[in-house]
Amino acid sequence: MQNFSYSNPTRLHFGRGTENDAGRLAKEVLGRAGKALVIFGGGSARRSGLLNRVLSSLEAEGFTVIEKGGVTPNPRLSFVRETVDWMRDQGVSLIVAVGGGSVIDSAKLIAASLEYEGDAWDFFDGHAKIEKALPVLAVLTLSAAGSEQSIRCVISHHGTKDGIGVECLRPRAAIINPEIFATLPKHQIASGVVDMISHIMERYFSATDATAYIDAQAEAAMKTAFEYGPKVFADPKDYDSWCQVSLVGTFAHNGVFGLGRVEDWACHAIEHELSGWNEAIVHGMGLAVIIPAWMRYVSKSEPARFVQFARNVMGVEAGATDEETIERGIEKLCDFYRSLNMPLTLKDLGAADCPIESLARHCCRKGKVGHLKALDEADVLAIYRAAND
């Protein structure tokens, strides 16, 4: 195990009705009331009444509130730029994100950009580093990306998607009321479950040894999502099951499953090319296509972790060869994806015509991706090709 230093300042406020405490939490974060910019998406939060409850709670604590809706899935840099131009010099002291990963990521980048004089894209193309950001309070409406506790921010711009991770982007508080997830469309529920499991897999599939404690925690979390994910897919009003799923979702990406080891993240890099190329592609669906292809490719040279995953997580019984065990584990994972109506090929994803050569080149523009097996452009292309079969 490697040395590590871990701090997670996100206060987690969880359970029924907790959105009504948004104002109180915001005041605790700032130490006073102030001007809050409330960011949301295309309308689900307004339709459900959640947005009004959050606004009322903020106003009841003395906040001046400015609303800005319109974040799209696979969120665009243009929304961030437009909002920053509008809000600069307006004395905003807090950003409140009411939404899923796209809204929270947009809020994070707005929070950093309002503390920086240049353009938001400077942080992604290497021209500037994020040194500070306004505090962000996340009110989660979709359990998936884990952005409510993560240091990451993923933004789309001109047909590409890029991510950055900086500690000061971690929201200062996250409100999770699993009742809110009852209105989610089924494909978003399923994509969210795939995504949260993948955030654990990206850390679990590591070459670092002597990580038994974190491995066991990760295996338990993945098994919980495999058990309760189908329950919320079948019945989006199943509050108790949502409690389990959303706890997995938020802990999956707050860093704990990566403690003391090198993380992988190849599947995310390869998927982000797809949802960057076509913003209609849902991130979790892209992952369902890429992950099995990546597992088959990388397990050829690095079998041990894949055997452990097949046995401990997917329940493949002992007795078969390593090769058979790995394939059975991957097949069980594919069966799980199928049961959630997830795509398994680029064709199923509606991306059979995607330019895989240029996506592979762009994916490796900064060098190899992944760590368990570091993948170059030819490797990434081979994975796209396998995902096309």
Pairing assessment for the beta strands 152-157 and 94-99 based on DSSP bridges = unpaired
Nearer to Zn ion, 100 or 230 (CB): 100
**C-beta of residue 145 within 8 angstroms of C-beta of residue 129:** no
* Choices 25-33, 103-111, 191-199, 231-239 (CB under 5 A): range interacting with Zn ion: 191-199
The residue within the footprint of Zn ion, chosen from 195, 263, 273, 327 (CB under 5 A), is 195
**Residue given tokens 């994100």 in the structure block:** 97
Q: Per CB under 6 A, does 340 bind ligand NZQ?
A: no
As measured in angstroms, the least distance from the Cβ of 128 to ligand NZQ is 19
Number of neighbours of residue 25 by Cβ within 10 angstroms: 23
Residues 6+ apart with CB under 8 A from 61: 23, 24, 26, 27, 33
**Cα–Cα distance, 171 to 148 (Å, whole number):** 6
**Exposed e or buried b per residue across 160-191, where buried means at least 16 C-beta atoms within 10 angstroms of its C-beta:** bbbebebebbbbbbbbbbbbbbebbeeebbbb
**Cα–Cα distance, 218 to 201 (Å, whole number):** 8
Q: Per CB under 6 A, does 152 bind ligand NZQ?
A: yes
**Cα–Cα distance, 199 to 310 (Å, whole number):** 17
As measured in angstroms, the least distance from the Cβ of 164 to ligand NZQ is 9
Q: Per CB under 6 A, does 105 bind ligand NZQ?
A: yes
Build a one-symbol-per-residue string for 172-211: x at contacts with ligand NZQ by CB under 6 A, - elsewhere.
Answer: --------xx-xx---x---x--x----------------
181 binds, among Zn ion, ligand NZQ, none (CB under 5 to 8 A by kind): ligand NZQ
Nearer to Zn ion, 195 or 238 (CB): 195
The residue within the footprint of ligand NZQ, chosen from 23, 73, 135, 292 (CB under 6 A), is 73
| Burial environment of residue 47 by CB neighbours within 10 A (0 to 12, 13 to 18, 19 or more) | exposed
HSE (CB half, 13 Å, CA atoms) of 335? 8
* Choices 10-18, 30-38, 146-154, 240-248 (CB under 6 A): range interacting with ligand NZQ: 146-154
103 binds, among Zn ion, ligand NZQ, none (CB under 5 to 8 A by kind): ligand NZQ
**Residue given tokens 């890099």 in the structure block:** 269
**C-beta of residue 57 within 8 angstroms of C-beta of residue 210:** no
**Cα–Cα distance, 188 to 288 (Å, whole number):** 13
Q: Per CB under 6 A, does 157 bind ligand NZQ?
A: no
**Residue given tokens 């994803």 in the structure block:** 349
Q: Per CB under 6 A, does 145 bind ligand NZQ?
A: yes
Site for ligand NZQ in 245-284 (CB under 6 A): 253, 268, 283
Residue among 211, 216, 190, 372 at smallest CA distance from 294 = 372
Nearer to ligand NZQ, 157 or 268 (CB): 268
Nearer to Zn ion, 195 or 273 (CB): 195
Nearer to Zn ion, 56 or 224 (CB): 224
249 binds, among ligand NZQ, Zn ion, none (CB under 5 to 8 A by kind): none
Site for Zn ion in 312-341 (CB under 5 A): none
**Cα–Cα distance, 74 to 62 (Å, whole number):** 33
* Choices 20-28, 51-59, 120-128, 150-158 (CB under 6 A): range interacting with ligand NZQ: 150-158
Residue 301 sits at φ, ψ, to 5 deg, of: -100, -20
What does the block give as tokens for 341? 């109506």
Q: Per CB under 6 A, does 42 bind ligand NZQ?
A: yes
Nearer to ligand NZQ, 103 or 114 (CB): 103
**Binding interface with ligand NZQ (CB under 6 A):** 41-45, 73-75, 99-103, 105, 141-142, 144-147, 150, 152-154, 180-181, 183-184, 188, 192, 195, 253, 268, 283
Binding site for Zn ion (CB under 5 A): 195
